[in-house]
Amino acid sequence: MEHNESRMRRIFSGVKPTGPIHLGNYLGALRNWVELQHQYESFFCIVDLHAITVSQDSQELAARTREIARLYIATGIDPKISTIFVQSDVSEHAELTWMLNCITRVGELERMTQFKDKARRQRESAGVGLFDYPVLMAADILLYQTDLVPVGEDQKQHLELTRDLAIRFNRDYGETFRVPDPFIPKVGARIMSLSDSTKKMSKSDESPNGCIELLDTAETVRRKFKRAVTDSGTEIKFDESRPAITNLLSIYQLLTGKQPEDVEAHFAGQGYAQLKNELADVTVEFLRPVQERVENISDQELDRILDDGRRRAQEIARQTLDDVKRRMGLQGALRARA
């Protein structure tokens, strides 16, 4: 069986092309992918089938999908050692979702907090795709016999379901899937909106100032930090009871690579304006080379990377899917090969 062979451990993760990548996505997820790709065989997907669980403009979706692929590369994912691909290019994702649907309980999906949040007011009219979203995510992960899934805090519950489905399938049909572990960073797993420190920074943030996008201009970055909400009090310290300042300090800490005590010492006796200015400087410096690299990736080069990624991903996905079909008795034309 493919997953029993000795091989490098694998990671899988993805971003939805529902909007521009932001600092939360980078600090919670992508930053760790860049580190981990040297220790793991890595699969980084642009999950466009997840994006269509809510209504999308088709042209915009196609353009965003390519933009996200460019940003993966520009932030440091190396296509020579990591597989970058588009989810809908590998039809095994949709196919395995169906098999997993058949072992998933309605009650399990009803307990998913992301579904409850997104469907809140229009439960009757919410799409079935939105309800089934976590099963598609489980299929993404399990197809590649993934060991580790680097994600932000908001994905923890989805990862638990993925593990439950893998364990259930293995119990009912025999050892088929690796049971993956989540990788959630200690700092940065939940970057908050700059305009409301009770909400996570999100692509679908209603407030245009809450979210720093990786393609924002220097001027926009400065404006957004300037308008960022702060807490009462004046001290610049990490403090859970002051979430807005703690959020700004966490961003600063992660972008500079400094220790929290050094960050606090650096800002001792300073005011909020100083913190916001320096944070804007650090962010602009971080974004500049990323934006330059995005500009320098040609369409042809991107096509080649995504084509290559599709082939590499499909080869592994197909092996897992064949195994699943055989175990479930869905043999059809596979019979002769069994």
Residue nearer to ligand LTN on the CB measure, 162 or 195 = 162
d(C-alpha 213, C-alpha 210), whole Å: 10
Q: Is 186 annotated as catalytic?
A: no
Residue 93 buriedness (CB in 10 A; 0-12 / 13-18 / 19+):
buried
CB atoms near residue 168 (< 10 Å)? 15
Alpha carbon of 232 to those of 27, 240, 242, 249: distances in Å?
26, 13, 8, 15
Q: Could you give the 3-state DSSP secondary structure of residue 77?
A: coil
203: contact with ligand ATP by CB under 6 A:
yes
Q: Which residue has the tokens 């907090």?
A: 113
Among 23, 112, 151, 189, binds ligand LTN (CB under 6 A): 151
Strands (E), the chain: 10-15, 41-46, 82-86, 148-150, 181-183
Q: Does 143 bind ligand LTN (CB under 6 A)?
A: no
Q: Out of ligand ATP, ligand LTN, none, which partner does residue 141 contact, by CB within 5 to 8 A per kind?
A: ligand LTN
Binding segment toward ligand LTN, per CB under 6 A, in 8-16, 57-65, 73-81, 203-211: 8-16
Query: Which of 16, 80, 116, 118 is labelled catalytic?
Result: 118
Q: Which residue is nearest to ligand ATP (CB)?
A: 28
CA distance 23 to 41: 25
Length of the chain: 338
- Check residue 79 for interaction with ligand ATP (CB under 6 A): no
Of ligand LTN, ligand ATP, none, which one sits near residue 140, judging by CB under 5 to 8 A according to partner kind?
ligand LTN
Asked whether position 69 contacts ligand ATP by CB under 6 A, the answer is no
The 15-44 contact track toward ligand ATP, x by CB under 6 A, reads xx-xx----xx-xxx---------------
Question: Binding residues for ligand ATP, per CB under 6 A?
Answer: 15-16, 18-19, 24-25, 27-29, 151-152, 154-155, 189-191, 200-204
